[in-house]
């Protein structure tokens, strides 16, 4: 590889294994600090679309594969491969334009969930961003986009109207529902297996809900199965404007004494209504006040902003942790899922870990398939996010995570491509799509990247 040729072609920095900054360049902005022993031959920190074009064309000419880092959680680090060129988009951070009158915006790929809402909310606008404040648009949207207010707004990718991207041939094109439609279909849900580099997203915006109100209740861990069963039966009759979740988490300070007998674990239920008036929000949440079990503590219909939602959600997924995750879909009762994992909780090595189930509300769940790669829909979404801080705890947490995911596997109907371990469990990849969409996605890759310029889901991830 003539690295000088790559450096000459790009305005942004280019690093190879011989450079002192190389490890920081490939590891520094990874969310998950459980970092595998995989490394590219070179990394290009692209400054603009021209750098992306130059890097792809250089890779083609040199017989090298390309992988892209787009700022998602990187739970299983799919942007790290053995060899090839890593195109890092971390410098593409601009909100290019906001057209409030026509409910449209254009952004570069590395704009965080929090920053998108921060730019839009003062204008009375919103976008179905993800829940974790630091996650960037590209990694989130390419995976489909598990959004706030999901039953009303749909996934984040459903509100993408067009993309600008660099193809495997090194061409910069625009794709939408009316042009280059194969790329548009695949980009909305293909995740790390997408055969292109998206440099801009054209977004459809939504009016900001005028009344976002949230309720939170805490229950003893032993009551979690009964609460989950109750919520599962209740969900079809709850307003679709309510986002409902059941957590198993460590108790907040004021409830630690009540949770001490169960190693600090308890059940937390949150419900957020995205409505137009406070009365409508309170009405939508009222049904959840009739719990069959008296909570340890609760709050009802507290007014919220997206800033507050991000603060609360972000606290469960702290930066700098070592992490394993398996987010799945299920049509089983949330009570069954919680009951299955209860025997494993006393052995949990880390108090940072979280078990989350989002229970989709309204009569039209699971949702109908859309014309996009994003596929899986079910009554419940979630699973274990196993997080810890020290390398010496890797083995214990990895084994516990394996036990909990193995226990839950019989209940799964599919996986979320952006939050499952596709490296160690490659069989999860096709199960993130319906069989028809998986077949189409593979056919489109063969059609538009016949030489395999882009790493697919499975390339160069194992031991060398």
> CB–CB of 199/49 below 8 Å?
yes
The domain boundary, picked from 91, 126, 151, lies at: 91
> CB–CB of 149/185 below 8 Å?
no
Q: How far apart are CA 302 and CA 210, in angstroms?
A: 13
Q: Which residues pair with 299 in a beta bridge?
A: 216
For the chain, how many structural domains are there in total? 3
pTM of the predicted protein model: 0.96
Do the domain assignments include residue 439?
Answer: no
Residue 279 sits in the same domain as residue 321: yes
> CB–CB of 461/83 below 8 Å?
no
Do the domain assignments include residue 435?
Answer: no
Do the domain assignments include residue 354?
Answer: yes
Could you give the C-alpha distances from 157 to 171, 186, 376, 383, in angstroms and in order? 23, 11, 13, 22
pLDDT of residue 10: 96
Q: Which residues pair with 86 in a beta bridge?
A: 43, 67
pLDDT of residue 3: 84
Residue 415 sits in the same domain as residue 305: yes
Residue 356 sits in the same domain as residue 293: yes
Do the domain assignments include residue 463?
Answer: no
Residue 36 sits in the same domain as residue 101: no
Question: Which of 378, 433, 375 lies closest to 158 in space, CA to CA?
Answer: 375
Do the domain assignments include residue 460?
Answer: no
Do the domain assignments include residue 183?
Answer: yes
Residue 100 sits in the same domain as residue 185: yes
Residue 8 sits in the same domain as residue 132: no
| Residue 421's CATH number | 3.40.462.20
Residue 382 region by backbone torsions, left for phi larger than 0, else alpha for psi between -120 and 50, else beta = left
Do the domain assignments include residue 448?
Answer: no
Spell out the per-residue pLDDT of the chain, length 464, in tens: 688 889 999 999 999 988 999 999 999 989 899 999 999 999 999 999 999 999 999 999 999 999 999 876 668 999 999 999 999 999 999 999 999 999 999 999 999 999 999 999 999 999 999 999 999 999 999 999 999 999 999 999 999 999 999 999 999 999 999 999 999 999 999 999 999 999 999 999 999 999 999 999 999 999 999 999 999 999 999 999 999 999 999 999 999 999 999 999 999 999 999 999 999 999 999 999 999 999 999 999 999 999 999 999 999 999 899 999 999 999 999 999 999 999 999 999 999 999 999 999 999 999 999 999 999 899 999 999 999 999 999 999 999 999 999 999 999 999 999 899 999 999 999 999 999 999 999 999 999 999 999 999 999 998 64
Which residue range is the domain that position 129 belongs to?
A: 95-207
The domain boundary, picked from 91, 124, 154, lies at: 91
> CB–CB of 312/131 below 8 Å?
no
The answer for residues whose C-beta is within 8 angstroms of residue 446's C-beta and 6 or more apart is none
Residue 281 sits in the same domain as residue 387: yes
Residue 235 sits in the same domain as residue 323: yes
| Residue 174's CATH number | 3.30.465.10
Residue 130 sits in the same domain as residue 242: no
DSSP output for 69-126: E-SS--TT-TT--SSSEEEE-TT---EEEEETTTTEEEE-S--BHHHHHHHHGGGTEE
Residue 220 sits in the same domain as residue 99: no
Do the domain assignments include residue 296?
Answer: yes
Residue 152 sits in the same domain as residue 20: no
202-220 CB burial, b ≥16 within 10 A, e <16: bbbbbebbebbbbbbbbbb
Could you give the C-alpha distances from 43 to 3, 197, 463, in angstroms and in order? 11, 15, 21
User: How would you classify the pairing of strands 66-69 and 85-88?
Assistant: parallel
Residue 409 sits in the same domain as residue 326: yes
Q: How many CB atoms lie within 10 A of CB 294?
A: 9
Query: How far does Cα 65 stand from its chain's mean position?
Result: 25
Number of H helices, E strands in the chain: 14, 20
The answer for residues whose C-beta is within 8 angstroms of residue 303's C-beta and 6 or more apart is 211, 212, 213, 278
Token pair in block for residue 426 = 């490659």
The domain boundary, picked from 49, 65, 91, lies at: 91
Return the SS3 of 263.
coil
């Amino acid at each position: 590889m003539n690295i000088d040729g790559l450096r000459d072609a790009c305005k942004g920095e280019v690093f190879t294994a011989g450079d002192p900054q190389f490890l920081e360049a490939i590891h520094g902005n990874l969310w998950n600090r459980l970092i595998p022993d995989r490394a590219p031959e070179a990394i290009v920190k692209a400054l603009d679309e021209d750098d992306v074009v130059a890097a792809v064309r250089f890779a083609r000419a040199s017989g090298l594969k390309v992988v892209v880092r787009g700022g998602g959680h990187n739970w299983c680090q799919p942007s790290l491969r053995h060899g090839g060129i890593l195109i890092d988009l971390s410098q593409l951070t601009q909100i290019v334009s906001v057209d409030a009158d026509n409910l449209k915006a254009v952004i570069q790929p590395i704009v965080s969930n929090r920053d998108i809402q921060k730019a839009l909310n003062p204008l009375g606008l919103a976008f179905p961003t993800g829940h974790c404040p630091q996650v960037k648009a590209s990694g989130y949207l390419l995976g489909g986009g598990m959004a706030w207010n999901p039953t009303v707004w749909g996934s984040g990718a459903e509100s993408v109207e067009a993309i600008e991207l660099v193809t495997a041939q090194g061409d910069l094109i625009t794709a939408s529902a009316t042009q280059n439609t194969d790329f548009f279909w695949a980009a909305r849900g293909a995740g790390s297996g997408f055969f292109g580099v998206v440099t801009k997203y054209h977004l459809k915006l939504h009016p900001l809900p005028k009344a976002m109100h949230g309720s939170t209740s805490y229950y003893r861990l032993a009551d979690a199965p009964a609460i989950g069963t109750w919520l599962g039966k209740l969900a079809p009759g709850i307003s679709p404007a309510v986002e409902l979740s059941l957590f198993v988490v460590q108790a907040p300070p004021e409830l630690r004494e009540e949770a001490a007998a169960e190693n600090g674990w308890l059940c937390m239920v949150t419900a957020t209504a995205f409505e137009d008036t406070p009365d409508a929000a309170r009405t939508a949440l009222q049904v959840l006040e009739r719990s069959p079990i008296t909570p340890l503590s609760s709050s009802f219909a507290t007014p919220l902003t997206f800033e507050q939602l991000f603060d609360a959600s972000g606290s469960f997924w702290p930066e700098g942790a070592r992490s394993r995750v398996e987010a799945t879909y299920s049509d089983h009762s949330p009570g069954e899922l919680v009951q299955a994992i209860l025997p494993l909780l006393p052995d949990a090595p880390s108090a940072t870990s979280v078990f989350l189930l989002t229970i989709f509300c309204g009569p039209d769940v699971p949702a109908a398939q859309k014309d996009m790669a994003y596929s899986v829909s079910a009554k419940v979404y979630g699973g274990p996010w196993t997080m810890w801080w020290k390398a010496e705890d890797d083995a214990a947490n990895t084994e516990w995570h394996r036990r909990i995911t193995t226990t839950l596997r019989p209940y799964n109907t599919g996986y979320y491509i952006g939050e499952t371990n596709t490296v160690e469990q490659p069989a999860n990849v096709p199960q993130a799509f319906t069989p028809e969409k998986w077949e189409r996605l593979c056919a489109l890759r063969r059609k538009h990247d016949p030489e395999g310029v882009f790493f697919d889901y499975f390339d160069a991830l194992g031991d060398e």
